[in-house]
Amino acid sequence: MEGSRERLRRLLEPVHDRALSFARCLCRARADGDDLYQEALLRALLKLDGLRDDAAFRAWLFRIVVSVHRNRCRRAFWRRLLPLGEASDGDSTSEPPLLLDLRTSDWSPDAANAASRARAALAALPAVQREAIVLFEIEGWQVDEIAALQRVSASAVKSRLARGRDRMRAHYHQQPGGAPTPALARGASR
């Protein structure tokens, strides 16, 4: 196990930033994203012996993140079906701790609102569309790379991206007061 840990440390170093960011973007709350990433790392550590080609580590790790994310979505379904009042380890059902962030950082209210709005819209998407949108729009992956990760065709990824966008637009329209004004939205990019 110690050898695996060292190997994981070596392989993780160049992809850690992207993977953690990806996990955080998939979840509605950043803390849930951290949990998701930790669970994926744990699974990666346990299965590292099965990884033969170190060059494929990035895709392999992202696939594990995606797998854990989908498991959590399924778990969320079971919790909705048989709610048991458990501790929060979900992704799309818990509210983000925005107030805490605003008090403890220089994160502007506009940016916080923009991020909250986008996270809410992302949370309303099916898991596969959410993954495609995050990888394409935020992480800058190519369609072919996403297709290989999700094990679907490139046209299916394009379809998921288009449908995800449509749903996000619809979600923005359904917000109280309609879509945000450009002036408010510009604040988010600062």
Partner 1 sequence: MTTLDDTITRDLAAVAADSRRAWRTADDALARLDVPTTRAAAPRLDALALTAVTQVFARRVARIAAGGAAMLVIAIVATPAFLVIGNGGYDIAAAVDDNALGIAAWLAAPMLIAHTVARQLAARWLATRLPSSASPDELARRLARRVDGWSTGVLFAAGTWIALVAGVLYLAFHRSFPLTPWFERFADGTTRMDRLDPLLVALFATVVVACVLGRAFTRALPWAPRTARLALAAGLAAAALTVGAGLRFELWPIAPHAVPTRVASWFLTVVGAGSVMLLVGVFAWWVRARDERAVATCPPPAAGAARIALLENVFARRVAWTNAGVASLLTMALVVAILNWPDRYTLVCFGSAPFCGAARDLMPSWIAELLVADDHRWLRVFVTIVAAHALGARAGRWIFGRVVGRAGGLPEENARELVVRVADASLAAVVAGLTAVATIAVTTRWSFPDMLPSALYALANDVARTTLRQLAIAIALIAALASLLGLGRARVTRTLRHPLALGLGVALAGWATWVGTSRDLNVLHATYDRASRTTTYDSPPLELLRPALILGVTVGAFLIFTWLALRWRGRTRDPAA
* Binding region for partner 1 (CB under 8 A): 5, 8-9, 12-13, 16-17, 20-21, 24-25, 30, 33-35, 37-39, 41-42, 45, 75, 78-79, 82, 84-89, 101, 105, 107, 111-112, 114-115, 117-119, 121-122, 133, 137-138, 165, 168-169, 172-173, 179-180, 182, 185-186, 188-189
Q: How far is the CB of 137 from partner 1 (least distance, A)?
A: 5
> Toward partner 1, which CB reaches closer, 49 or 153?
49
> Toward partner 1, which CB reaches closer, 149 or 168?
168
Q: How far is the CB of 117 from partner 1 (least distance, A)?
A: 5
Inter-helix orientation angle 2-12/57-81, to 10°:
100
In whole angstroms, what is the distance from residue 81 CA to residue 140 CA?
Answer: 36
Q: How far is the CB of 98 from partner 1 (least distance, A)?
A: 9
What distances in angstroms separate CA 117 from CA 68, 132, 169, one per listed residue?
24, 18, 11
Residue 26 has a CB neighbour count (10 Å cut-off) of 29
Q: Please, which residues have CB within 8 angstroms of residue 118's CB and are 6 or more apart in sequence?
A: 168
Question: What's the helix, strand, coil split of the chain in %, to 5?
Answer: 75, 0, 25
Q: How far is the CB of 58 from partner 1 (least distance, A)?
A: 13
> Toward partner 1, which CB reaches closer, 114 or 128?
114
Both tokens of residue 69?
A: 């994310």
> Toward partner 1, which CB reaches closer, 151 or 173?
173
> Toward partner 1, which CB reaches closer, 56 or 186?
186
Q: How far is the CB of 70 from partner 1 (least distance, A)?
A: 13
In whole angstroms, what is the distance from residue 164 CA to residue 122 CA?
Answer: 8
Of the candidates 126, 160, 127, 130, the one whose C-alpha atom is nearest the C-alpha of residue 143 is 160
Q: How far is the CB of 134 from partner 1 (least distance, A)?
A: 8
> Toward partner 1, which CB reaches closer, 3 or 85?
85
Q: What's the Rg (C-alpha) of the chain?
A: 18
